[in-house]
Chain A
């Protein structure tokens, strides 16, 4: 594709094209990261600079007050821990059930495979808000409102299709011969899955884990519905309400926003190749 520009035309036009292309790339990258950079700037300047008009482009008077305040706040620390527990446990549960289901779909033959696939796909089209009232009533009856379990359960349901979808794509890429060899040697289906597929699929499983974790870390609707006790809330619920806790402390809110997105940005930068292959796995074949 690099040679699409006709070689017969002058090199001048070609290099102009290249310049325009890179201008486009720079603008695109800038627009994508601008809010994070700007809000970071808002979080590290003094109060007087934050309210300065016109706003300063580059930070002039630095202050770590917002960061120390947010990081030292026990409520925010609790929220970070809650988010980590919710996302971590959801990821583990999804990987366990998801990998079993994905293996059966990718490798085994059974009659209702297409029904199963349709059901799983239907969940990704499902508007979660449609079931918050019935679930709220049921969770109240079960006594799990205001516990992390309520959100872990609902996040699991809505992350499972993603987990299964990705794992099916990864399992299908593995050679069938190895499991066949294991089965010839007397291994059962489950043993072949555990001893052969799971270790081989480790990179794919890891990618799936990252994407599932990000999904659960970012979830807001269920957490905002089932968790009204502040000590159970994850960061997604706590940060928008910062204004009321700190009586409109925008600097603290900016710092907190940056703090919860930085781990995600680092994950994304480290594993960008894998994440992209995971995100596009379903779409291309679909």
Chain B
């Protein structure tokens, strides 16, 4: 079942309150999105852990209800993990 971009953003922000979330609908079908999530809370986390935090925020929807979410995560400013 498709999800609205605003729902994705709401769920991520509920779980990662300081995050800045940008969503793009890739195919216009409500099922293929790209998201960029920037949060201070990602500092010191591996990229896998950062992505897992976003997947956790979406509560199991990715890979199910939401077919695919192209994901990019970052820590604010220049302080990237790598």
A binds B: no
Q: Which residues of B contact A (CB under 8 A)?
A: none
Q: Which residues of A contact B (CB under 8 A)?
A: none
